[in-house]
Amino acid sequence: MLTTADEGLDDRSLIHGRGGGDTGDRIFHALVLIAAAIIPLTLAGIVVLLLLDALPALSRYGFGFLASSTWDPVTEKFGAAAYVFGTVVTSLIALILATPIGVACALFIAEYAPRRLGEPVGFLIALLAAIPSIIYGLWGFFILAPAMRSAVEPFLKNTLGNVPVIGALFSGPAVGRDLLVAGVILAIMILPTITTVSREILRAVPNTQREGMLALGATRCETIQKAVLPYARSGIAGAAILGLARALGETMAVTMVIGNSSTQIRASLFTPGYTLASAIANQFTEADKAIYFSAIVELALVLLLVAGAMNVVARLLVWSVARGPVGSATRAG
Amino acid sequence: MIGVQVPRETPVTTPPAAETESGPEPRVVVRDLNAWYGTHQAIARISLDIAAKHVTAIIGPSGCGKSTFIRCLNRMHEVTPTARAQGSVELDGVNIYAPAVDPVRVRRVVGMVFQKPNPFPMMTIFDNVVAGLLLNGQYRRGEIDTLAEQALRQAALWDEVKDVWKKASGASLSGGQQQRLCIARTLAVRPEIILMDEPCSALDPIATYRIEELIGQLKEEFTIAIVTHNMQQASRVSDYTAFMLAEEDRIGRLVEFGPTSKIFTNPTERRTEDYITGRFG
Amino acid sequence: MATTAPPAAVASLLLRAQPRDRGRQFADLVATGLVIVSAVVGVLVLVAILAYVAINGLPALNFAFFTERPLPPGEVGGGVAPAIVGTLMMLATAGLIGVPIGIGTAIYLAEYGRGGFARTVSFIVDLIAGLPSIVIGVFVWAWLVRSVVGHFNGLAGGVALAIVVIPIVTRTVEETLRLVPDPLREASLALGTPRWKTIMRIVLPTARAGIMTGVVLSLARAGGETAPLLLTALGNQFFSLDLLQPMAALPVQIYNYARAPYPDWQVKAWGGALILIVLIAALSGLSRWILTRRFGRT
């Protein structure tokens, strides 16, 4: 029944690890092995299929694909620079807005609030992650964008728009469908990710660190600033990068508020634009030529690689503080 | 000499006056101290005096409330959620639990060394030592290196770290060194009282010996209160000893308090004697 | 060596704030304020979104909305029935495909996997979980829409959703299985039960609540996905139960309604959003109820 002859050097391997000679065991083992093997197969499939389909565009445009901002299906000139630009800008805006607020929320839940208040607040903020992207798009399109156009953007234009260098960010007509609004919607969407992960990170900071600083006569703010946050530094960076990875891949919410019209790279945040994801979603069903398709798939490939790399980096950072892999904390629900 | 005996269930009596040649002044006067975690009372009606520039040890079996007690002396107890304390702890005539007193200021004056050494790993040795100084701002420009060196010398750590103190992380030291770093960090802010909560229990015997030696030197300048579960350590290191015990109600009370020599050779209470001779705990 | 301060100085130190202290106290107060404001903002945003969905969506809800199909542009009336049916069908497909694979992988990782392969699989599960769903859509399009079937179809949509479902199920079920105490397994094995029966008859049933929770949560998540469906199922104005034809889905229908310039359609978009939110809330609530019910009993 149980063969102890082969694998396993410790007791646990009798219960876990390869073992079992019974026919039923062999079949069962094979079944779960097949299930598990589907995972890397799927990833391989995704990468291979994307590569194959992007190959025509890859070979034809080379690295110029990322450098040129001309995207013209008619003349078959495809350059994704504007999409990359849009992705980077909106994600950065989201990161800049969501990280301080997210970490502050995590501090509220983990350091300031009593448990009976902190737990419900944490739950509510995590709920933001359960709201589907399309509903964010709807809300952004009908509620946020008009508010931005009529109140926020004119305000920014009249105040910061006059400051020497930064002013360029807030110039031009405020239409309400632009990079800025997309960035704000993305910020709301990644807030729960940053908050939930940061909260776990803060919890992993040993209490002895806080006590050590308090015992020296520090206020709570100083304790957090000088003992807790430095310790949690790399984990919080990981939380931010996880948020960033999520922002990069968001499609529907961004598509509905970003304008999807211009492929010009301009300095102002009030210009409409595209992100890689929104470009794919918008143009996929319109593509009629093979090379057009290929270019769009290449966009997907770029997105895949960047999002994948970010996820890896982020998890390594978070893991180093929490000393354990972060699994479902970053997912909705 | 000050000795207070508290028989169970009877009210506290005021301590008799000092009786010997160099009757030390009490630096901290504790009267009727109670502390709770939520609804559970951890210690009840503790009263004792902590003599200036002497070492007072708190001993007792696990769970008797000695850590809770000592954490009340610098208002660290209340940092735990739902924890609270009530009573009088007078430092130089000021009750640190008075409403007008900010706990942050109490902790500047009453320092604490913890059971598990807790240097800040993201800071260098130097930064660790001056962490408290930078908070309180109690130094003149250009003085900070000197003050840090003084503290490290006083903690008997200077020679071991002087070459790397501005480069090496606080966590890169051995356990015993880390604890001496924590002591240096506490000394640097020049507290009046130093509280030590089982400072040697995470250390090996040699490191323990060095810290006990250090305590002997420090008491010339500071008032020290030390919690220890090691009776031999208490008898080696302290001038006065308080024995605490929690009975069936799990509430810690002071059973006996007096000069260490008396507690360990001729205790008044039967329960003290039982503990000292190892009949329980 | 500086000596400690005389008693009067200590007393005044305790009682009166030093000038520098005032700044520190103020900073502490400001920090506390900022932290509280942030938490309030976070909760307010949630409330704002949910409130708008509810307020704007309610007017759209009537019997026709739930039972009829969308009407051509410009005509008033109609509903999202095909979309609801389509979503349910594709979720069922995603569940049938994704849940067994997810649970199988979880069993492998928790009960069998010890070496490099297991670690790789675990790592890749996290990778796939973090993939933009539009990328998954492109993949399934290239595989099933273009090559295997030849046109947009509901099956491809279901498969795309399955890829969303698998990592979530794997993670949650794996965690749950790890929580099952080893003595349970040991006792069963010691009685002579084969490994596979131990897992099927003892371990899985014990982890039942966590498994169901994982499944339900993954479906809640998949139900809201739009991007991959745009590229696979495409959407359908008419009732269709044929998985090999384009299929409607609620998120896609919302998207189509929202983009149109007709006010009637825009209200319907909100109505669809309300139904979607309620669906997801119901699923999440169900998962929570499963957990508490189980814990209440054991």
- Per-domain residue ranges of chain B: 4-276
| C108 and C48 assigned to the same domain | no
- Residue A174 phi, psi dihedral angles, 5° rounding: -95, 100
| C221 and C142 assigned to the same domain | yes
CA angle (A188, A190, A193) in 5-degree steps: 130
**C87 is a domain residue:** yes
Determine the residue of chain A that is closest to B77 in CA distance: A211
Amino acid occupying residue C187: A
Rounded Cα distance between A313 and A331, Å, is 17
Give the gap in angstroms from C-alpha C63 to the nearest C-alpha of chain A: 22
Say if residue A240 is exposed, middle or buried (CB neighbours under 10 Å; 0-12, 13-18, 19+): buried
Examine the fold and report which residue of C32, C60, C88 is the final residue of a domain before the chain moves on: C60
CA angle (A258, A264, A270) in 5-degree steps: 45
Chains that touch B (3 or more CB pairs under 8 A): A, C
- Per-domain residue ranges of chain A: 12-61, 78-330
Determine the residue of chain B that is closest to A111 in CA distance: B81
**How many CB pairs below 8 A link A and B?**
67
Give the gap in angstroms from C-alpha A188 to the nearest C-alpha of chain B: 31
pLDDT in tens, B97-138: 998 899 999 999 999 999 999 999 999 999 999 999 998 877
| C73 and C187 assigned to the same domain | yes
**Cross-chain Cβ contact C1/B154 below 8 Å:** yes
Mean pLDDT, range A232-245, rounded to an integer: 91
Asked if B166 and B113 count as a contact pair (C-beta separation under 8 A), the reply is no
Which of A90, A94, A101 minimizes the C-alpha distance to A236? A101
Q: Does C5 touch chain A (CB under 8 A)?
A: no
Buried b (16+ CB within 10 A) or exposed e, A56-80: bbbeebeeebeeebebebeeeebbb
In chain B, what residues touch A231 (CB-CB under 8 Å)?
A: 120-122
Which region among A247-251, C21-25, C124-128 has the lowest average model confidence (pLDDT)?
A: C21-25
CATH architecture of B4-276: 3-Layer(aba) Sandwich (3.40)
Preferred mutation among B135, B138, B181, B196 to probe A, highest tally of A CBs within 10 A = B135
Provide the phi-psi class of A282: left if phi over 0, else alpha when psi is between -120 and 50, else beta.
Answer: alpha
Residue A330 pLDDT > 80, yes or no? no
User: CATH for A78-330?
Assistant: 1.10.3720.10
Residues of the domain holding C34: 20-60
For chain C, how many structural domains are there in total? Answer: 2
| C113 and C248 assigned to the same domain | yes
| C56 and C111 assigned to the same domain | no
| C217 and C290 assigned to the same domain | yes
| C131 and C274 assigned to the same domain | yes
Helix (H) or strand (E) holding B155: none
Which of C24, C46, C139 comes nearest A222 by C-beta? C24
Chains that touch C (3 or more CB pairs under 8 A): A, B
| C177 and C289 assigned to the same domain | yes
Which of A241, A250, A239 minimizes the C-alpha distance to A196? A239
Residues 133-192 of C with CB under 8 A from A: 133-136, 138-139, 141-143, 163, 166-168, 170-172, 174-175, 182, 185-186, 189, 192
In chain B, what residues touch A216 (CB-CB under 8 Å)?
A: 107-108, 111, 131-132, 135, 185-186, 189
pLDDT at residue number A7: 44
pLDDT at residue number A67: 82
Looking at residue C110, which CATH number applies to its domain? 1.10.3720.10
pLDDT in tens, C172-195: 999 999 999 999 889 988 998 888
Q: How confident is the model at residue A1 (pLDDT cuts 50, 70, 90)?
A: very low
Which of B94, B150, B222 comes nearest C11 by C-beta? B94
**Cross-chain Cβ contact C227/A252 below 8 Å:** yes
| Cα distances (Å, whole numbers) of residue C223 to B101, C92, C171, C267, C280 | 57, 10, 18, 21, 7
Give the gap in angstroms from C-alpha A167 to the nearest C-alpha of chain C: 27
Q: Does C278 touch chain A (CB under 8 A)?
A: no
Tens of each residue's pLDDT in chain B, 281 residues: 444 544 444 444 434 333 333 457 889 999 999 999 999 999 999 999 999 999 999 999 988 999 999 999 999 999 998 999 999 999 988 999 998 899 999 999 999 999 999 999 999 999 999 999 998 877 787 889 999 999 999 999 999 998 999 999 999 999 999 999 999 999 999 999 999 999 999 899 999 999 999 999 999 999 999 999 998 999 999 999 999 999 888 999 999 999 999 999 999 999 999 998 887 75
Residues 119-148 of A with CB under 8 A from C: 121, 124-125, 127-128, 130-139, 141-143
Buried b (16+ CB within 10 A) or exposed e, B204-226: eeebbebbbebbeebbebbbbbb
C83: Cβ contacts below 8 Å, ≥ 6 apart: C248, C249, C250, C252, C253, C272
Q: Is the dihedral of CA B138, B141, B143, B149 positive or negative?
A: positive
**Cross-chain Cβ contact B76/A231 below 8 Å:** no
Q: What is the pTM of this model?
A: 0.87
Tokens 């050494």 locate to B117
Q: How confident is the model at residue A18 (pLDDT cuts 50, 70, 90)?
A: low
**Cross-chain Cβ contact C194/A24 below 8 Å:** yes
| C247 and C180 assigned to the same domain | yes
Residues 2-21 of C with CB under 8 A from B: 2-5, 7-8, 10-11, 13-15, 17, 20-21
| C271 and C165 assigned to the same domain | yes
B250: Cβ contacts below 8 Å, ≥ 6 apart: B40, B63
| C120 and C267 assigned to the same domain | yes
| Cα distances (Å, whole numbers) of residue A177 to A196, A286, C201, C266 | 30, 22, 56, 18
**Cross-chain Cβ contact C14/B101 below 8 Å:** yes
| C87 and C203 assigned to the same domain | yes
pLDDT in tens, B27-51: 999 999 999 999 999 999 999 999 9
pLDDT in tens, A286-313: 888 888 888 899 999 999 999 999 888 8
Preferred mutation among A111, A116, A207, A216 to probe B, highest tally of B CBs within 10 A = A216
